[in-house]
A and B are shown apart, each in its own frame.
Chain A
């Protein structure tokens, strides 16, 4: 996937343009609407740029940031291999064993590649896992030092999905003052803009 670098004067998009392009990428338009929209898209530099942005975003969501590896991945690869027609000759018990070993090896290799790929995105390797265990043990010690408070079971009954817009002024005030530390760049403000109840 190629990342888009904007070397020209940054574009200003109208909200209508943004909504249309977003809808196109998300596949929300009918074929007729798509046809009407695609012509200006291909000829307009700004629209093309935003089209690329949205595709990058979609790719990011769909491919680049898996939350988990499919736990049945290895089994699925094995199943697929077993269903493949045999093309080697001559047939025999030895070949079946070899196929099984190769199959297990191939599935394990593919799983390992998936694990390694995923490690770069989210999943820790062994040394990190060891560190996490060590950190967890440290956590327990730390918690014992400071924790005199036990969670009130009543908290479970409290609203877990409030209307965020009601809390926007609190979030904005918090962002404005926490951003003063400067250590997170503009992230506190991005949080205020990015948070929405979506109503």
Chain B
């Protein structure tokens, strides 16, 4: 018994040190990954799986000057393509008109700028690191963030251990470990110069007719109750072509805890309550709630548990005039 106590006293500090070291390692890798995904030129193919659906997607990412470009295109199933740069995201889907989303000009309070920010994340996620088998020829480390409550999902990131620390595989999981969505690179090539960056830039200049742009105005709605750790990242107005196929001014709020995020959209529509079909749906990692409040359509969408989307959707209050 004395021996056991002796061994415990001897090794307990080492265990604590190991945990702390592991935390620092996880934080450093997460930080490096979030930087690398924006700064490195690469091209590859990955699989994206959610529920019973899976798609192969080709990704091309490049940085030219200070400008970031990216293109993703599906390799199977319905043709879908996204081309983006620092300012815009152009979406082109097989059965829909192309549209563009403006994403520039707002602060990113949760973006990692220092590994120490992990302490903030750790209030709501249990973080651990582990060794893993090579992926697409890259040695890597698996970083796991498991949620400490029911308002967010967990994440597993397989990050290359060698610079530039690209994300090789990721999973979004429930608190009990069930996989909701998965991304896995099957091939990946890091390049010295930006691949096809000029082609991408040319495509982005072809602005679709139903462009979406931010507009100023006073915000009429606010959320009275948010899950712990979530805070409002941004609020803005957009002119969106929505499901009714007409351009509509939409109030958009984004809430996030740094990893999980959820958006709230509010728009005035000309639909009677009896003709509107409310939605409360969970599709893989994404939850979607849509219903009518008077003449306003409320849409909450995000990669959060349905309870989080429902809580936000049903705790909104109108504060403005009208």
- Cross-chain contact B70 with A186 (CB below 8 angstroms): yes
B314 within 8 A of A: yes
A181 within 8 A of B: yes
Q: B96-139 CB contact bits vs A (8 Å, 1 = yes)?
A: 10010111001010111000000000000010000000111100
- Cross-chain contact A182 with B181 (CB below 8 angstroms): no
B261 within 8 A of A: yes
- Cross-chain contact B111 with A183 (CB below 8 angstroms): yes
If A152-B314, A155-B280, A180-B108 touch, does A173 touch B84 (CB 8 Å cutoff)?
A: no
Which chain B residues border A174 with CB–CB below 8 Å? 254, 261-263, 301-302
Which chain B residues border A128 with CB–CB below 8 Å? 177
A19 within 8 A of B: yes
Which chain A residues border B200 with CB–CB below 8 Å? none
B219 within 8 A of A: no
A33 within 8 A of B: no
The smallest beta-carbon distance between A6 and chain B, in angstroms, is 3
A196, closest chain B residue (CB)? B78
Q: Total interface residues on A, using CB and 8 Å?
A: 81
Q: A131-159 CB contact bits vs B (8 Å, 1 = yes)?
A: 11001101100110110110110010011
B63 within 8 A of A: no
Taken together as a complex, chains A and B put the C-alpha atoms of A188 and B183 apart, in Å, by 11
- Cross-chain contact B177 with A124 (CB below 8 angstroms): yes
The smallest beta-carbon distance between A137 and chain B, in angstroms, is 11
A169 within 8 A of B: yes
A199 within 8 A of B: yes
* B276-322 with Cβ < 8 A to chain A: 277-286, 288, 290-291, 299, 301-303, 307, 310-311, 314-315
- Cross-chain contact A166 with B243 (CB below 8 angstroms): yes
B207 within 8 A of A: no
- Cross-chain contact A53 with B187 (CB below 8 angstroms): yes
The smallest beta-carbon distance between B164 and chain A, in angstroms, is 12
Which chain B residues border A186 with CB–CB below 8 Å? 37, 59, 61, 70, 72, 167
From B30, B178, B212, give the contact of A169 (CB < 8 A): B212
Taken together as a complex, chains A and B put the C-alpha atoms of A166 and B299 apart, in Å, by 12
Which chain A residues border B195 with CB–CB below 8 Å? 10
The smallest beta-carbon distance between A120 and chain B, in angstroms, is 9
Which chain B residues border A61 with CB–CB below 8 Å? 49, 54
From A131, A160, A190, give the contact of B280 (CB < 8 A): A160
Which chain A residues border B209 with CB–CB below 8 Å? none
Taken together as a complex, chains A and B put the C-alpha atoms of A132 and B178 apart, in Å, by 13
Which chain B residues border A177 with CB–CB below 8 Å? 103, 106, 233-234, 252, 254, 263
Which chain B residues border A143 with CB–CB below 8 Å? 149-150
- Cross-chain contact B96 with A6 (CB below 8 angstroms): no
From A49, A151, A170, give the contact of B263 (CB < 8 A): A170
Taken together as a complex, chains A and B put the C-alpha atoms of A143 and B186 apart, in Å, by 40
If A149-B315, A185-B167, A198-B77 touch, does A176 touch B149 (CB 8 Å cutoff)?
A: no
Taken together as a complex, chains A and B put the C-alpha atoms of A189 and B49 apart, in Å, by 14
Which chain A residues border B263 with CB–CB below 8 Å? 170, 173-174, 177-178
A4 within 8 A of B: yes
Taken together as a complex, chains A and B put the C-alpha atoms of A158 and B43 apart, in Å, by 41
Which residues of B line the A interface, CB within 8 A?
30, 33-35, 37-38, 43-50, 53-61, 70, 72-82, 84, 89, 91, 93, 95-96, 99, 101-103, 106, 108, 110-112, 126, 134-137, 146-150, 155, 167, 170, 175-179, 181-184, 186-189, 195, 212, 225, 227-228, 233-234, 238, 240-243, 252, 254, 256, 258-259, 261-263, 265, 277-286, 288, 290-291, 299, 301-303, 307, 310-311, 314-315
Which residues of A line the B interface, CB within 8 A?
3-7, 10, 13, 15, 18-19, 22, 49-50, 52-54, 56-57, 60-61, 65, 67, 122-124, 128, 131-132, 135-136, 138-139, 142-143, 145-146, 148-149, 151-152, 155, 158-162, 164-196, 198-199
- Identify 10 new A-B residue pairs, CB closer than 8 A, beyond the known A123-B177, A159-B279, A196-B53: A60-B184, A61-B54, A122-B177, A142-B150, A152-B314, A160-B279, A164-B283, A182-B35, A193-B73, A194-B50
**Which 3 pairs show the lowest CB-CB distances between chains A and B?**
A6-B187, A5-B137, A166-B243
